[in-house]
Structure 1
């Protein structure tokens, strides 16, 4: 049975015993498993291939014997899903065995955001009176045409295991301490915005403000629990926020978009990381489409482009280009003449938690590649060959030197006062290349005032210092935005100028940076 235990219930640690009132010591052992349903993107297979369901072990999960709210014994499953614990079976009160959707190393727990953040669990309230083997299994609950809600117990464990796989992949190559992570999955989580406690989560996503992940689960709308790439993609944003850094503005993005390079990197990185960590190059996302709620799927191959290319505008502003470039940097053993780079996961981790985190520039493919080339054993010429494959220049610095388009994102205010005019293109999202420009200046230890204006259109300005927002102005719908800040001597600052014009057509924006 699928249970929802109070979010604060204890767990983890080595097996032990307890309980008052005397009783008989009982030792239980067994194996805990769950159904994993492959998500597919092939014409001859169902989007969720229930016929190919695999029984997987529930790894590192907290196992408890409980008497009411009291924990009599606790342990964790091993990598094969096996557990063993002993407890004193009291003559008073009933006892239960429960397996929580919660790991201890790293600490991840899957909660029901629509039920007071209770931790998901499976268990049994019928325990033997003598030493016994007791196996537990979480099934997918699919009947052939729909889910049986009472049997749909595998979902939170599938979500948990995908994220556990991601974390342990990094832990296998580097010493990493991950901050505790809460993940929210519910069969009521729908792709609509609103009250998250009622399931209106908009989409599967990582919430930086909460430092939590939300996963869709509504049958007939969108169920992501078996979409492992979607889950690890969102875990990748948690990784960025807690161990690395992301300057991405977020927002909508899709095939062929010419994006602000911050979000092009962030989304391409998320897809590529899922392919690296699972490891499986084919990204698949399933969705329930149409009035009848028919399952469908779409996919992105990190290794091969389809004949009808999904990357019509390759380069530094394309998340698809970033996705495949990063995967080619990681992988090994390919027969592709342009791919001689096989950096593996360790150096990629080092870049993400090192220079990518501390760069003076924005976090883009330029800052990543420049740092990667400085890693021991990485051949810069081979990286340049890969860059050329995706129509990127031979990036040589965090500012994009070597790639004209990337370098032109940064206008340098070498001396203050500085002023400039730029033409933006309306009708595009606020997170696209057409509506963004960066300006770089060096702090002088004094106050600096930044202003931007467009007579008839909405613009905003944000000032960053090594990824930290130190100034922001976006209060008026038209006219001038102004902010002032005290700068640090010789420190680099990046001003991001963003336009929000929704109607098509070119419009002019003036910017000034001055120090009185």
Structure 2
């Protein structure tokens, strides 16, 4: 018996597969045998996994997972171990860019050992865990008998598809596909900048379903980055929604991890779709995530697969060009589709059809510099306006060409972090000349809290005294105060009535108060409702 801290699949018949457990059990007839004297072993081989391409055609609006086009890819930069009795690590190594490894160990000749490749990279540190099995690290393994000298042993993680569904015990490729997409994204940045990536934990399980509840039971809602945990969750329930081979989805969520840890995100979250007039914080955050997936992966077509009435289908969109009729019906700073195509065009090459408006081809390093520099430190909130303002300040960037490209997506000629140059964006902000300040205004129901119509921004300079923010309405409003993206106070406790909080301000520092409406009318028909806001200082 081998007891492992990792969830382990075997590619041989000599080990009972326990896809979700922590224990690998020997099958009948697989005894330990007699252990002879210690011998030295040099073990080498290759670790691979099945990659299934996800496809989507914007022209036909259809797609699927192409199991018939499966390719075998190397498992790169992962930890591989030989485990002896009581899970003792006898030897370990790291696979190279081709998935190859070599390690040395000493053990009793004839003894049984386990060779396991963990779904965990070394540089940067990314590991895929099973959130429904005590956060065990996924792995693929096989059992070996110790033999002196040079021994070759490959490991392969198969996709487990039988032609009509998954063999639940053989979905070994899933965590390695997730890992490889995120590793690809990380290496693209590391190729242009010395990025200080923090460790990342990713949660995948065949039980992960699109329902909200307990993540430990697989109720994760959707594939997402969790800011509170600083971890990523990925859907995996066969017959419902599986995302492990949806590379753009995986890199999109990885992009949120990057943003939260190395850049900055003021994204309020919530649902979003093409045509929505979003709050500019979520329009940037989701558009950035989409664009990053296309920049870092070989294709500009974003694909998300799922099951619909028993059939495996897909939806998606092309970041290179909009379809006819367009999927970007409300272009500009409040559209994630405008943002994503603008950001993608900043990096991609110029085509003949784009030559009239796209004369920008920026290295990934320049985009990185903006994200970790001015976008991270902006005094405003993170929008496409703050990004463009920071971009124009980078050495060698042609501001006029950036403006021409932005104009194609109905984004103004940005000249400040507040959006000056774009009348729609700058009107979101009310610049206060001093405190105290009070105002009243109107919000619109029938829209989610992350829509443009439900948010207002108020900007002021700290006095060094205690600042009090109060909002009231007959309907549900919330208030939030930020200083360079850091929350210094918030309140959203009541459905009606007054919300209030206080915080000590720093003299000379810039603060942004965000007032958000949460009212949804019964029939979702837009209805106006009023609010009052006051900001005072003592």
Rounded Cα–Cα distance in structure 2 between residues aligned with 1:449 and 1:461: 11
Counterpart position of 1:35 = 50
Rounded Cα–Cα distance in structure 2 between residues aligned with 1:166 and 1:468: 27
Q: Give unpaired runs (5+ residues) of structure 2.
A: 1-8, 11-17, 23-34
Q: Secondary structure of the equivalent of 2:137? A: strand
* Mapping of residues 312-461 of structure 1, within 5 Å: 312-335=329-352, 336-337=354-355, 338-454=357-473, 456-461=474-479
1:415 Cα deviation after fit: 1.8
Q: Secondary structure of the equivalent of 2:54? A: coil
Q: Secondary structure of the equivalent of 2:104? A: strand
From 307, 311, 324, give the equivalent of 1:294. Answer: 311
Q: Is the 8 A contact 2:54 2:304 kept in 1?
A: yes
Determine whether 1:66 maps to 2:88: no
Counterpart position of 2:205 = 186
CA RMSD of aligned residues (A): 1.7
Q: What TM-score does the superposition give when structure 2 sets the normalisation length?
A: 0.91
Count of aligned pairs between the two proteins? 501
Q: Secondary structure of the equivalent of 2:489? A: strand
Rounded Cα–Cα distance in structure 2 between residues aligned with 1:514 and 1:46: 55
Determine whether 1:482 maps to 2:500: yes
Q: Deviations over 1:107-157 (max 9, x none)?
A: 011111111111111111124514122111111111110111222210010
Rounded Cα–Cα distance in structure 2 between residues aligned with 1:115 and 1:485: 42
Rounded Cα–Cα distance in structure 2 between residues aligned with 1:501 and 1:44: 34
The range that moved more, 100-109 or 444-453, is: 444-453
* Mapping of residues 265-284 of structure 1, within 5 Å: 265-284=284-303
The range that moved more, 98-107 or 326-335, is: 326-335
Rounded Cα–Cα distance in structure 2 between residues aligned with 1:45 and 1:327: 23
Determine whether 1:508 maps to 2:530: yes
1:29 Cα deviation after fit: 1.1
Determine whether 1:112 maps to 2:130: yes
1:421 Cα deviation after fit: 1.8
* Mapping of residues 7-46 of structure 1, within 5 Å: 23-42=38-57, 43=60
1:479 Cα deviation after fit: 1.7
1:46 Cα deviation after fit: 5.1
1:308 Cα deviation after fit: 2.4
1:465 Cα deviation after fit: 0.4
Q: Is the 8 A contact 2:62 2:315 kept in 1?
A: no
Q: Deviations over 1:49-72 (max 9, x none)?
A: 111111100000111011031000
Q: Give unpaired runs (5+ residues) of structure 1.
A: 8-19
* Mapping of residues 150-165 of structure 1, within 5 Å: 150-165=169-184
1:333 Cα deviation after fit: 3.9
Rounded Cα–Cα distance in structure 1 between residues aligned with 2:409 and 2:195: 32
Q: Secondary structure of the equivalent of 2:156? A: strand
From 60, 71, 81, give the equivalent of 2:99. Answer: 81
* Mapping of residues 85-104 of structure 1, within 5 Å: 85-91=103-109, 93-104=111-122
Q: Is the 8 A contact 1:216 1:225 kept in 2?
A: yes
Q: Is the 8 A contact 1:6 1:117 kept in 2?
A: no
Q: What TM-score does the superposition give when structure 1 sets the normalisation length?
A: 0.94
Q: Is the 8 A contact 2:232 2:253 kept in 1?
A: yes
Counterpart position of 1:17 = none
Q: Deviations over 1:300-344 (max 9, x none)?
A: 111010112111000000000101010011112433121111112
Rounded Cα–Cα distance in structure 2 between residues aligned with 1:442 and 1:328: 36
Rounded Cα–Cα distance in structure 1 between residues aligned with 2:494 and 2:116: 55
Q: Secondary structure of the equivalent of 2:164? A: coil
Q: Secondary structure of the equivalent of 1:370? A: helix
Counterpart position of 1:141 = 160
Rounded Cα–Cα distance in structure 2 between residues aligned with 1:126 and 1:75: 17
